[in-house]
Each structure stands twice: as C-alpha cells, then as structure tokens.
Amino acid sequence: MIGKLKGTVEAIGEAHVIIDVGGVGYEVQASARTLRALNLGQEVSLAIETHVREDAIRLFGFTSEVERAWFRTLQTIQGVGSKVALGVLGTLGPQDLATAIALQNWAAVEQSPGVGKKLAQRIVAELKDKAPALTVAGLATPMSNKGAGPAPGGEAAAEAISALTNLGYQPAQASQAVAVAITELGDVVDTAKLIRRGLKELAR
C-alpha cells in the first residue's frame, strides 16, 4: 500500500493531481481545498490513502495525516463514500469540520457538494464523540505545503481541552465548550481565557 508520495506536481485536474515521483506519474484524487493549495512544478509531500478495488487502484492525497484521518472517519457514516468525504473536506478544513461537529452545526456541513440536510445531520450526530481526538491531533498540523498558519485556537485550544478533560469533563464536552469559546473570543486567545470561558459554558 502507498501511504505517502513525495514529488513534483506535474498536472492539476478538476478532481485530481499528477505527482511525478522519480519519473513515474501518480494520479491522486484530492479535495478542492488541497488542489487549490498546489501549483505546477511545486515539490509536495502528500499523505496517501489507497483504495484497492477489483477493477482499479485509487489514490487519495491529503496535505496532513489528520486530514487523511478525517477522510477515513467520514466514510464510517452511512451514505458517505470517498467522493462525498472529499467534498466535505474541500468545503471545510479539518479544524472547521471539528468545530462544526462540536457545535452540532449541520448547516455548515450541508454546504458540501453531495451532502443534503439529513446526511449533514447524521454526520455531526454520529461523529460528535470522535471529533475531540481528531481536533487535538490536528490543532498544530499545517494545512498545506505553503506554510499556512496554525488552525484556529492553535495550541491554546489543545491545552484548554486537555485541562477541562483533566477536571473530569468528557472529551466531547470539553471540545464543544472550547469551540464555543473560540467562536466568541476569536482565534488569538490564551489558554487561561479559553478554560474560563469553557468552564462557564459547561456550567450552563
């Protein structure tokens, strides 16, 4: 199985990219968000998810391991295949998706191509307990090879979630409380403020 590709961007299509690795061109399916971050001739390193079928081998590429983890997790939901999962990740970045799930904001997920109201509601409902772990894993993970800035909340959010969990709250509760705090206080905020606002939310 191919788990990673490092090479040069040779061509970019509507839903795929060709990565030249040592003279061999690999066709990799990717989300719109990932494709927008790539340029012809750019040196890239993509995390790869390999799907083997009877009639084909398909490669899916991601700018981070956490994005690949979300791709896998989304497909555990009934009605979500690889195309829909890529559509969701093309509309919402991993951190935005985690926040939408924590806030049960199905309307944000519904903006993804191929996702209707019922499926969006199913996604946020069934993934609410899985989101915290993926959220913390992806907080300090760069979103592209262009050196994008940290995700909303950054390390402060991870520390706040950890602190609230240590106080006895469930990870899902802590994640949702911190997501609310970030929404109200903004992305640039310190850990102490997030914890205080998170505790206030949890006390409701």
**Closest by CA position to 83, among listed 134, 14, 150, 21:** 14
Interacting residues of 102 by C-beta distance below 8 A, sequence separation 6+: 128, 131, 132, 135, 172, 175, 176, 178, 179
User: What's the per-residue H, E or C state across the chain?
Assistant: CCCEEEEEEEEECCCEEEEEECCEEEEEECCHHHHHCCCCCCEEEEEEEEEECCCCEEEEEECCHHHHHHHHHHCCCCCCCHHHHHHHHHHCCHHHHHHHHHCCCHHHHHCCCCCCHHHHHHHHHHCCCCHHHHHHHHCCCCCCCCCCCCCCCHHHHHHHHHHHHHCCCCHHHHHHHHHHHHHHHCCCCCHHHHHHHHHHHHCC
Structure confidence at residue 66 (pLDDT): 83
Structure confidence at residue 81 (pLDDT): 93
Structure confidence at residue 42 (pLDDT): 93
**Closest by CA position to 129, among listed 161, 102, 167:** 102
Q: How far apart are CA 115 and CA 158, in angstroms?
A: 29
Structure confidence at residue 12 (pLDDT): 95
Interacting residues of 96 by C-beta distance below 8 A, sequence separation 6+: 108, 152
CB 100 within 8 A of CB 115: no
Structure confidence at residue 187 (pLDDT): 60
**Closest by CA position to 74, among listed 83, 61, 65:** 83
pLDDT in tens, the chain (204 residues): 788 999 999 999 999 999 999 999 999 999 999 999 999 999 999 999 999 888 889 999 998 888 888 999 999 999 999 999 999 999 998 878 887 887 788 898 999 999 999 999 999 999 887 765 555 545 434 433 433 333 444 567 777 777 777 777 777 777 778 778 877 877 667 778 888 888 888 887
